[in-house]
């Protein structure tokens, strides 16, 4: 059973609009959450993270929101750009040494 779920395999958004990628988790012991971005034929690259003691973290156009009671987090990209088209992985960690990844959401930003 997947501990980190990304229920939307794909998402299409117009350039300039907001992209919202969602992630749900089942393990209440997760206390650190990350988003990675992956282009084809490349390794994932770290995008943004959030600790469970926070409910929001912002870095430029990217904001991650955490709702611990709902075991839900989301990544907002505003404004979306064509170069944001990639697969986005949500990940969660219960300790220093293990990070559990979701299945990914493929984002297409249409010019």
Instruction: Work out whether 103 is an interface residue with another protein (CB under 8 A).
Output: yes
Instruction: Work out whether 52 is an interface residue with another protein (CB under 8 A).
Output: no
Contact between 15 and 85 under an 8 Å Cβ cutoff? The reply is no
Contact between 68 and 52 under an 8 Å Cβ cutoff? The reply is yes
- Determine which residue in the list 10, 12, 27, 51 makes contact with another protein, applying CB under 8 A: 51
With tokens 């220093």, the residue in question is 96
The pattern of x and - marking residues 65 through 94 that bind another protein according to CB under 8 A reads: ------------------------x-x---
CA distances from 43 to 57, 89, 94, 97, 106 (A): 24, 12, 23, 19, 15
**Contact footprint for another protein (CB under 8 A):** 2, 4, 6, 9, 32, 34, 36, 41-47, 49, 51, 89, 91, 96-104
């Amino acid at each position: 059973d997947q501990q980190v779920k990304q229920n939307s395999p794909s998402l299409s958004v117009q350039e300039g609009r907001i992209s919202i990628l969602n992630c749900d988790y089942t393990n209440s012991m997760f206390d650190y959450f990350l988003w990675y971005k992956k282009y084809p034929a490349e390794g994932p690259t770290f995008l943004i993270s959030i600790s469970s003691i926070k409910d929001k973290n912002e870095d430029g156009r990217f904001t991650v929101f955490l709702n611990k009671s709902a075991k839900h987090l989301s990544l907002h990209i505003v404004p979306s750009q064509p170069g944001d088209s990639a697969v986005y992985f949500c990940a969660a960690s219960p300790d220093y040494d293990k990070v559990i990844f979701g299945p990914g959401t493929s984002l297409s930003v249409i010019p």
